[in-house]
Amino acid sequence: MHPAPSVIIFSTISGLGFGLMLFLGLGLPDVNGWVAAVFATVALGLAVIGLLASTFHLGNPKNAIYAFSQWKTSWLSREGIVSILTLGTFFIYATLWAFMDMRIPALGYLASALAMTTVFTTSMIYAQLKSVPRWNTAVTPLLFLLYAAAGGALLSNQMTVALILLGLVFAFQSLAWMQGDTALTRSGSSIETATGLGGLGKVRLLEKPHSGKNYLLQEMVYVVGRKHAAKLRVLSLLLVALLPALLILLTEVNHVIVAVIMLSHIIGLFAQRWLFFAQAEHVVGLYYDAR
Amino acid sequence: MTQLPTSTEKKLGLVIDLDTCVGCHACEISCKGWNTVEYGAPLSDMDAYGGDPSGTFLNRVHTFEAKAEGCASQTVHFPKSCLHCEDAPCVPVCPTGASYKREEDGIVLVNEDKCMGCGLCAWACPYGARELDQMAGVMKKCTLCVDRIYNDNLPEEDRIPSCVRTCPAGARHFGDFADPESNVSKLVAERGGMDLMPEQGTKPVNKYLPPRPKADVNGTQMPALEAQSEEITGFLGWLDRTLEKI
Ligand code: SF4
Ligand code: SF4
């Protein structure tokens, strides 16, 4: 699948924002006044920037308003609705907390729950697709939630929780890659089932339907740069989880260290999300003898 | 609404005969023509006269080769367009309600006045039957020529999809699969019509007729040429040996 920058930025940055909301909603860190205001602004800012980035990949944004209508069946519609609810709830909670010194725990818990629900709906947009076997697994939503929570824990300075979450990220990301590499084969789809010609023998593409590029190839049969995938996987785990964990364990965490940790985590996160798209094989590739 | 109907009155669709298709791409071109001037936004081309042309098509003709061990290979031309699936995964994912499946005849359509061009339906379709038009920014797909088949302004013989009307080989058939007595239902029964990627669970309405078994696939292979003798005699032999020595 095509790793569109707008989609990568959206899912990583907004994930961090909603992850931070999770902890702020729980009343962590225990701050108030302008410090609380800064934390809340960062959370809202990240979530909103991410959501805005996601509109850049729309072909016809003027109809985006209809996207709130199909919540009964569409995860994308649900994501739109829940994200607006989350932003609204969190905004009220944070305003009361930072400016009126009135932290309402129940409202905070609601904001936390909504923030995680938003991340879950995002992940289900991908996990629901049978046509992309690598994504079509329960590990996909689990990982999205873990990444968001781990990033939120780092941002809100909850380093012990962050350590645990980074460990889980490491474990489940490794599992996802191991499972993912065989997902297409295990799905049972092949060029033989795609063409129905398996009975005649081994099938291969003799002539492409078009000599140039097209939307399908660009969007769903993206194979550019896959050869660096193995290196990028190692690099991503190193930056997203290992280096931050080591810094937390071995150094006196101050502002500079936190900045280094966040930088490392975010670069690792971008690499992970790039791989998430670039390595995902859509079954339509079978019609082009590509995966 | 993006909820799929539990059942549809008719199941209109196509039968594509892989035995008969000659791979001429006429269906593809007539489809492009009809749908550029008729239904919805035209099917645009990008850089049409430049070095890197591409464009939106609702039907594309692949060519495959199938070969069993020890047999001659067989070439199969393979037109592919929307299969108007009964369990169409492209419809429920649509956030705007632009994608829908009609209760009366099962045709899967996109309402371009609602589509925001997110492309999620194209991701959900296993068959690559939907293409986002790069000029209009809305999703395009086969309409089964909904603007022809019910069109009283057209002569009766033209009230079938443009691809079916055009196919010079008669490899494409249009009809109602809900009626067991229809031309398409009979063809499917007689010739063992099949689903593409049945494991995806989409229950396609369109069916493909497999190539008829060849009389003798093994015998069609050319006998191997007799090996030439190593030793060349006469003048050529002398030349060969002399050149070898230089
Ligand atoms: S072929 Fe693709 S676009 Fe057509 S109904 Fe089936 S899933 Fe939808
Ligand atoms: S591209 Fe249009 S039709 Fe397809 S899912 Fe998005 S809004 Fe719906």
Residues of chain A found within 8 Å of residue B95, distances taken between Cβ atoms: 66-70, 74, 76-77, 80
Angle at B104 between CA B103 and CA B108, to 5 degrees: 60
Q: Note the pLDDT of residue B219.
A: 54
Q: Note the pLDDT of residue B222.
A: 61
Q: Which whole number is the average pLDDT over A38-49? A: 96
- Mean residue pLDDT of chain A comes to 94
Q: Which whole number is the average pLDDT over B73-77? A: 95
Q: What percent of chain B shows pLDDT beyond 90?
A: 81
The Cα A97–Cα A84 span in angstroms is 20
pLDDT of B71 strictly over 90: no
Q: Note the pLDDT of residue A54.
A: 84
Q: Note the pLDDT of residue B234.
A: 81
Residues framing ligand 1 (Cβ under 6 A): B 82-85, 88-90, 108, 125, 127, 129-130, 141, 202
Give the distance (Å) from ligand 2 centre to CA of residue A229: 31
Q: What is the DSSP letter of B210?
A: P
pLDDT of B220 strictly over 60: no
Are B116 and A63 a contacting pair at CB < 8 A? yes
Q: Which whole number is the average pLDDT over B123-149? A: 97
What structural domains and CATH numbers belong to chain B? 12-43+55-243 (3.30.70.20)
CATH number assigned to the domain with residue range A5-287, chosen from the 4 options 1.20.1630.10, 3.90.180.10, 1.10.10.10, 3.40.50.2300: 1.20.1630.10
The strand pairing partners of B99, in sequence order, are B110
Which residue out of A72, A132, A186, A216 would a mutagenesis test of the B interface target, given it has the greatest number of B Cβ atoms within 10 Å?
A: A216
- SS (HEC) of chain A: CCCCHHHHHHHHHHHHHHHHHHHHHCCCCCCCHHHHHHHHHHHHHHHHHHHHHHHHHCCCHHHHHHHHCCCCCCHHHHHHHHHHHHHHHHHHHHHHHHHHCCCCHHHHHHHHHHHHHHHHHHHHHHHCCCCCCCCCCCHHHHHHHHHHHHHHHHHCCCHHHHHHHHHHHHHHHHHHHHHHCCHHHHCCCCHHHHHCCHHHCEEEEEECCCCCCCHHHHHHCCCCCHHHHHHHHHHHHHHHHHHHHHHHHHCCCCHHHHHHHHHHHHHHHHHHHHHHHHCCCCHHHHHHCCC
**Interchain CB contact of B195 with A (< 8 Å):** yes
pLDDT of B92 strictly over 70: yes
Confidence of residue A125 (pLDDT cuts 50, 70, 90): very high
Length of chain A: 291
Q: Note the pLDDT of residue B217.
A: 62
pLDDT tens digits, residue range B27-45?
Answer: 999 999 999 998 899 999 9
The Cα B158–Cα B169 span in angstroms is 17
pLDDT of B241 strictly over 70: yes
**A246-259 b/e with 16+ CB inside 10 Å = b?**
ebbeeeeeeeeebe
- At A98, the amino acid letter reads A
Q: Note the pLDDT of residue B221.
A: 56
Confidence of residue B216 (pLDDT cuts 50, 70, 90): low
Q: What percent of chain B shows pLDDT beyond 70?
A: 93
Are A59 and B89 a contacting pair at CB < 8 A? no
pTM of the complete model? 0.92
The Cα A289–Cα B109 span in angstroms is 28
Closest Cα of chain A to B10: distance in Å?
24
- At B134, the amino acid letter reads Q
pLDDT of A250 strictly over 60: yes
Q: Note the pLDDT of residue B237.
A: 79
- At B6, the amino acid letter reads T
Q: Which whole number is the average pLDDT over A53-64? A: 90
Are A63 and B76 a contacting pair at CB < 8 A? no
Lowest mean pLDDT segment, chosen from A241-250, B64-73, B166-175, B200-209: B64-73
SS3 call for B29: helix
Q: Which whole number is the average pLDDT over A115-139? A: 97
pLDDT tens digits, residue range A161-219?
Answer: 999 999 999 999 999 999 999 999 999 999 999 999 999 999 999 999 999 899 999 99
pLDDT of B215 strictly over 80: no
- At B184, the amino acid letter reads V
Q: What percent of chain A shows pLDDT beyond 90?
A: 87
SS3 call for B243: helix
Q: Which whole number is the average pLDDT over B141-167? A: 97
Are B92 and A73 a contacting pair at CB < 8 A? yes
| Chain A (61-100) residues lying within 8 Å, Cβ to Cβ, of chain B | 61-64, 66-70, 72-77, 80
Q: Which whole number is the average pLDDT over B93-99? A: 97
Candidates B54, B67, B93; nearest CB to A213: B54
